[in-house]
């Protein structure tokens, strides 16, 4: 078992160090985190949706969740911690079954930890991107007048910043500069569909 643990620790640790150096040097993952490095029996379905920013990692054929977290990076982390934990357990004088149990638990823990860490980093990066769909339902101000069936521009606060978008009129009335409108949809690209902001009902005395 010593040889197995040592080999896993050395090989996995070397690859992790290599990945760290590449990332620190500005080469990203160095092309080592693609699904092409996995066996043919493992398929990953990764959908980075540009609109909602959700990360969907799963197996389209309904296999276990374990396959959903497999990547070169997570496997390398699992290999490394399997080796080091196994050697630590062996140094402590534990019997072989216990050594394997500890090593496997450490490897799985490292694999899932790296997976959730990378997913969190991805989502954190996506949270800073402006999503035009977040403007729907928000109140905007007409910046350039919008004629009936015409196009102008509006300003709307979205994701804690004031943005300017092209907008088309969804109502039967022209919208003058300064008018309050509500975003009711996204036409295409960065163009919004707006309609007049509903005026509060007047209460008769």
pLDDT at residue 82 greater than cutoff 60 = yes
45, 38 Cβ separation under 8 angstroms? no
pTM beyond 0.75: no
The helix or strand, by DSSP H or E, that contains position 55, with its residue range, turns out to be strand 55-58
Nearest to 130 by CA among 186, 177, 172: 186
Residues 148 and 112 in one domain: no
Query: In the listed set 88, 106, 127, which residue is the last one of a domain according to the structure?
Result: 127
pLDDT at residue 142 greater than cutoff 70 = yes
Residues 32 and 84 in one domain: yes
Question: For residue 65, what pLDDT is reported?
Answer: 53
Instruction: Tell me the per-residue pLDDT of 176-189, one tens digit each, with 9 for 90 and over.
Output: 999 999 999 998 87
Which residues in 68-203 belong to E strands, given as ranges?
139-144, 151-158, 161-169, 180-188, 191-196
Question: Does some domain include residue 17?
Answer: yes
Residue 88: domain span: 2-127
C-alpha–C-alpha distance, residues 183 and 193, integer Å: 6
Residues 87 and 149 in one domain: no
Query: In the listed set 93, 127, 161, which residue is the last one of a domain according to the structure?
Result: 127
Mean pLDDT of 140-148: 91
Q: How many domains does the chain have?
A: 2
C-alpha–C-alpha distance, residues 45 and 35, integer Å: 9
Question: Does some domain include residue 204?
Answer: no
At residue 126 the predicted structure's pLDDT band, cuts being 50, 70 and 90, is low
Instruction: Tell me the per-residue pLDDT of 109-122, one tens digit each, with 9 for 90 and over.
Output: 988 888 888 877 76
């Amino acid at each position: 078992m010593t040889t197995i643990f040592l080999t896993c620790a050395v090989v996995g640790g070397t690859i992790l160090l290599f990945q760290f150096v590449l990332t620190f040097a500005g080469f990203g993952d160095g092309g080592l985190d693609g699904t092409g490095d996995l066996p043919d029996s493992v398929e990953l379905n990764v959908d980075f949706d540009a609109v909602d920013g959700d990360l969907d990692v799963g197996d389209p054929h309904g296999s276990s969740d374990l396959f959903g977290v497999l990547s070169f990076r997570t496997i390398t982390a699992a290999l490394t911690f399997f080796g080091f934990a196994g050697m630590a357990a062996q140094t402590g004088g534990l019997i072989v079954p216990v050594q394997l149990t500890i090593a496997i638990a450490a490897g799985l823990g490292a694999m899932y930890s790296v997976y959730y860490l990378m997913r969190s980093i991805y989502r954190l990066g996506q949270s800073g991107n402006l999503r035009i769909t977040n403007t729907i339902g928000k109140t905007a101000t007409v910046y350039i007048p919008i004629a009936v069936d015409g196009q102008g521009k509006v300003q709307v606060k979205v994701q804690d910043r004031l943005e300017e978008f092209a907008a088309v009129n969804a109502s039967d009335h022209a919208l003058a500069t300064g008018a309050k409108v509500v975003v009711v949809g996204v036409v295409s690209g960065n163009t919004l569909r707006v309609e007049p902001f509903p005026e509060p009902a007047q209460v008769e005395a």
